[in-house]
Amino acid sequence: MNKKEKIILFGASRGGENFIKHNKTQYDILAIADNDEKRWGSLLEGLKVINPKDILKYDFDNIYITSQWVDSITYQLADDFKIPLENIKIPKKSSLKESFKPFEHVETLKFARESLCKITQFLSNHNIIAIVDSGTALGIFRDKDLIKWDDDIDFAIDSKDFEKLISLVDGLRTILPKNEYSKWKLEVISLSNDDVCLSLELQSSDLNMLKEFEISLQKRTIKDGLSHLDSSAGIFYAPALYFEKYERVEFFDGFVYLPYKVDDFLTFMYGNYKEPKKDTSIENYDNRVVQKKRNIKSFDVSKRVIL
């Protein structure tokens, strides 16, 4: 009988929680390290959240980084604790998400399309342009649909409109699609007390009838000719022109806004985006800033549920 790989996770986030749910039988997960001292001593999926300084107290095989700040954490592990790079692992993006490929499920895909169009229309009615971003933009431009093996929907919201977006959450909640299996959880994510993302998490009472997925409306700030994705704390950026303007396109029973010069944007972000890649990690993004030191801002992540 093969022994399970003994691992420690680094990142007591939703990604870490999902990794545990998907892999609890595959690995012997010993603990979860996190830089946020407010989480130390708490439990996530029954596992203790520890101070990174306590990692070396454990007899582990590898450390899996379940946070978007993979470079900063890799630097911390290698520099502070002398963990060999071969023992630091970056899991695939899909293992950090609620569901595996929810858009392969026909009814969930229809639900997601409707959600995308209704959010775009609602915000447009309130003079907010929600531009589809990242993999959502890729699917709509390349495939004329959401990518079947994707797992979320990404919107970019200009920083000047983000406070207004938060003020509209009650109205936004009323227009979100609903059925007998669905429930929406709305949550604001902040970095160092700065609101950077409105998360709309679809929860399902029957995963055979409706899969779960997340919609992220993320703040982008334009500065010095660049559009910075604020929730990434410096990891992701793009030339500002892609988000200073937009391209409206029809999408099923509605419309969406794509980044300006979308072909150039997708090339900047993914390289050869026309070649589909079914399973990626954060390291596969061409527009990622590789951080060579610890990102202190990433230590202070907070969330508040909007009831």
What integer pLDDT is reported at residue 280 of this predicted model? 60
**Range 189-214 burial, b when 16+ CB lie within 10 A, else e:** bebeeebbbbbbbbebeeeeebbbbb
Of 72 and 53, more confident: 53
Average pLDDT over residues 181-188: 95
d(CA 42, CA 12): 10
Average pLDDT, integer, range 159-170: 97
Q: Please report how many Cα atoms fall inside a 13 Å half-sphere around the Cα of residue 196, on the Cβ side.
A: 21
How does DSSP classify residue 236? B
Fold for the domain defined by 102-276:
Beta Polymerase; domain 2 (3.30.460)
Average pLDDT, the chain: 90
132 and 258 Cβ atoms separated by less than 8 Å:
yes
Q: What's the pLDDT at 99?
A: 64
Q: What is the pLDDT of residues 207-234, one digit of tens each?
A: 999 999 999 999 999 999 999 999 877 6
Q: What is the pLDDT of residues 3-59, one digit of tens each?
A: 899 999 999 988 899 899 889 899 999 999 999 888 899 999 999 999 999 999 999
How many residues are given for the chain? 307
pLDDT confidence of residue 177 = 96
Q: What percent of the chain has pLDDT over 90?
A: 69
User: Given this model, what pLDDT does residue 299 score?
Assistant: 55
Contact (Cβ atoms closer than 8 angstroms) between residue 137 and residue 259: yes
Give me the phi and psi of 227, to 5 degrees please. Answer: -105, 110
CA 44/CA 275 separation, integer angstroms? 37
* Distance (Å, whole) CA 102 – CA 198: 20
For the chain, what are the domain ranges? 5-96, 102-276
Task: Identify the CATH assignment for 5-96 out of 3.40.50.720, 3.50.50.60, 3.30.420.40, 3.40.47.10.
Answer: 3.40.50.720
- Return the H-helix or E-strand segment holding 262: helix 262-270
C-alpha 32/C-alpha 211 separation (Å) is 27
